[in-house]
Copies of this chain bind each other. A is one copy, B any other.
Amino acid sequence: MRVTVLCGGVGAARMLRGLIQIVDAADLVAIVNVGDDLELHGLSVSPDLDTITYTLADQVSTERGWGLEGETWQAMEMVNRYGGIDWFSLGDRDLGTHLYRTHRLGQGASLAEVTSEIVAAWELPLVIMPVTNDRLRTMVTTVDEGEISFQEYFVRRHHDVAVTAVRFSGAAATTPTPGALDALRDADRIVIAPSNPAVSIDPILAVPGIREVLVERRADVVAVSPIIGGKALKGPADRLLVELGRESSSVAVAEWYRDVISTLIIDEIDAELAPAVAAHGVRAVVAPTIMRDTDSARALARTVLEQG
């Protein structure tokens, strides 16, 4: 069974961790958001791609639940001494990835090529690709500061400023990464991971050609709601939905995705919302959706693949 997954960061990484246990990795393709990418200290940083790679490579600290196992912060201590940019911390191990990526991009390699090299170095058997090799940046309009980059919103402001609009700068001029459209056309199942619809999945759909294929393949597209009991497990998806004029619920997620999905997995706690989801023309499937560990991730992956 060929499975292609649209991915943000942490939620998607956990979803993939479940899927890779029940799908042949050669049949698993992750298409990843690049709207969060940034240039910092001259380096090219791709947080969602790296979160997924590090998670699948078992490099994420199990103790802390984020960052790399055995990470240190010596470079940042020096940056802080100099009064440099300190709001986005780059660990020393993590820096090695950005050094390599920046070097290869400087040589003319595409982001997809660099990503596949990094994925190969970690001996991961699936395909992980950025949705586009072109520059696409998620920009957030805030009440207080006007438009700022996604990471300025998410990390620098700890996503606690009110947002009035989201824009994907450069999206119209991008083209999908070679192989991305085929991976969507040829998949037996397309999965939208439990990532933030507004700032993780929408930038993927903003790449010309991607949304169109999903509309065609709608019957085979299953999303997992990132909203559980009205709250996001992580990040600002719940508040963003409200600020953008929706409600913070799986019903709003169904409405958000209604053109591109036929099925939405919603958490058991939200079972009563199934009829309201259905009212948007989306079939609601009620299941446990919190991926606390590998077993729960695998169970959710199985639920996702059983649909359609």
Which residues on B sit within 8 Å (CB–CB) of A85?
A: 103
B82 touches A118 (CB 8 A): yes
Q: Is A75 an interface residue (CB 8 A)?
A: yes
**A78 and B96 contact, Cβ closer than 8 Å, known pairs A42-B44, A43-B41, A43-B42:** yes
Q: Is the interface of A mostly helix, strand, loop or mixed?
A: helix
**Does A74 interact with chain B (Cβ within 8 Å)?**
yes
* Chain B CB within 8 A of A151 CB: no
**A242 at the B interface (CB under 8 A):** no
Instruction: Report the separation of the CA atoms of residues A242 and B299 in the bound assembly, to the nearest whole angstrom.
Output: 73
A50-81 at interface with B (beta carbon < 8 Å): 70-72, 74-79, 81
Smallest CB–CB gap between A11 and chain B, Å?
25
A84 contacts chain B at the CB level, 8 A cutoff: yes
Contact A84 B72 (CB under 8 A): no
- A92 an interface residue at 8 Å Cβ cutoff? yes
Question: Is there an interface contact between A96 and B82, defined as CB atoms closer than 8 Å?
Answer: yes
The answer to whether B75 touches A99, judged by C-beta atoms less than 8 angstroms apart, is: yes
A76 — which chain B residues lie within 8 A by C-beta?
A: 96
Bound CA–CA A41/B94 (angstroms): 14
CB < 8 Å neighbour of A82 from B44, B83, B94, B100:
B100
* Cross-chain contact of A97 among B78, B106, B117 (Cβ < 8 A): B78
A95 within 8 A of partner (CB): yes
Q: Tell whether A102 is near chain B: CB-to-CB under 8 Å.
A: yes
Q: Mark A190-231, 1 if CB is under 8 A from B, else 0.
A: 000000000000000000000000000000000000000000
Total number of A residues with any Cβ neighbor in B under 8 Å? 37
Chain B residues whose C-beta falls within 8 Å of the C-beta of A97 in the assembled complex: 78, 82
**Per-position contact with B for A3-43: 1 when CB-CB < 8 Å, else 0?**
00000000000000000000000000000000000001111
Produce 1/0 per residue, A91-120, CB < 8 A to B. Answer: 111111101101110100000000001100
Interface positions, chain A 102-141, Cβ under 8 Å from B, are 102-104, 106, 117-118, 121-122
B92 in contact with A75 (CB, 8 Å): yes
Contact B72 A103 (CB under 8 A): no
Counting from the closest, the 10 A-B pairs by CB-CB distance are A78-B96, A42-B102, A41-B99, A74-B92, A92-B92, A75-B96, A84-B100, A82-B100, A75-B95, A41-B103
